[in-house]
Amino acid sequence: NQKAFIFDLDGVIVDTAKYHYLAWQKIANRLGIDFTHEHNELLKGVSRIRSLDIILGLGHVQASDEDKNAWLTEKNEDYLSFIANMQADEILVGVIEVLDWLKKKDQLIALGSASKNARPILEKVGILDYFDAIVDGNDVTNAKPDPEVFLMAAQLVGKPAKGSIVFEDSVAGLQAANVAGMISIGIGDKTTLHEAQYNFNDFTEIDTEFLETLVNK
Ligand code: B16
Ligand code: MG
């Protein structure tokens, strides 16, 4: 049996949410918008442009397209400077063990991320070669909770949606996986991620017995 195992990036493989937060905070502060860690939760799995709209909404700030574009560029430049020195030690616990097991068992591994910076991040942390397919924010027109990103990933590795597995840390991402008819696995807080079919706090809680059942489903 061979299945498509599709991984989200931010919050599943690496904790880049902290870098997104720092970069957005700079813009928000300048506009006098209070942007807290709790607010940052709203941006998980959400596209860059939608993230800006959410932040502006928090502060009831109206802006021209020109201003918005300038802020989007600035945010991404700051974000790029934060991720510039990322290394393998920023891979979240248990991820490598699961990737190694999947490779050993000849399973298909794909990325399904909203980020336009996914490839350079995988490269920096040294795991690009594990992936049989990469679908990111540059490839899709519809953001999560639309299932496009995951459907494209399964298609690229030649597997049907049914039986494909998605690891996600965001509500929007889990909704996308469910709409696609895939097996959704929430990584993180069980209460927040209650829409997942299975929940784990992190990858160290996922044992090979469980992975084996997914392969044979
Ligand atoms: P970028 P994921 C998402 O990645 C992040 O969770 C979200 O916070 C971010 O705004 C989005 O990528 C876009 O990222 O600005 O780098 O294109 O969780 O889908 O891997
Ligand atoms: Mg994520």
Predicted confidence (pLDDT) at residue 202 exceeds the cutoff of 90: yes
Arithmetic mean of pLDDT, 100-113: 98
With a cut of 90, say whether residue 186 has pLDDT above it: yes
Active site residue 207: no
DSSP characters over 154-170: HHHTT--STT-EEEESS
CB 205 within 8 A of CB 167: no
Radius of gyration of the chain from Cα atoms? 17
Cα separation of 164 and 132, whole Å? 14
- For the chain, the distance separating the N- and C-terminal CA atoms, rounded to the nearest angstrom, is 9
pLDDT in tens, 121-134: 999 999 999 999 99
Q: What is the pLDDT of residue 154?
A: 98
Q: What is the pLDDT of residue 33?
A: 97
pLDDT (0 to 100) of residue 83? 97
Query: Closest residue (by CA) to atom 13 of ligand 1?
Result: 115
**Would you say residue 94 has pLDDT above 90?**
yes
pLDDT in tens, 19-42: 999 999 999 999 999 999 999 988
pLDDT value, residue 6: 99
Binding residues for substrate: 8-10, 24, 43-48, 51, 75, 113-117, 144
Read off the pLDDT of each residue in 3-29 and give the average, rounded to a whole number.
97
Is 51 touching ligand 1 by the criterion CB < 6 Å?
yes
pLDDT (0 to 100) of residue 78 = 98
Interface ipTM: 0.93
Pocket residue to mutate for ligand 1, from 15, 20, 78, 138, most atoms within 8 A of Cβ: 20
Alpha carbon of residue 166 to chain centroid: 10
Annotated binding site for Mg(2+): 8, 10, 168-169
pLDDT in tens, 129-174: 999 999 999 999 999 999 999 999 999 999 999 999 999 999 999 9
Average confidence score pLDDT of the chain: 97
Tokens of 83: 């991720």
| pLDDT number for residue 12 | 98
Q: Residue range 6-14: average pLDDT?
A: 98
Residue 168 alpha carbon, nearest atom of ligand 1: 18
CB crowding 62-99: b at 16 or more within 10 Å, else e: eeeeeeeeebeeebeebbeeebeebeeebbbebbbebb
How confident is the model at residue 41, as a pLDDT? 86
The string of DSSP codes covering 108-139 is EEEEE-S-TTHHHHHHHTT-GGG-SEEE-TTT
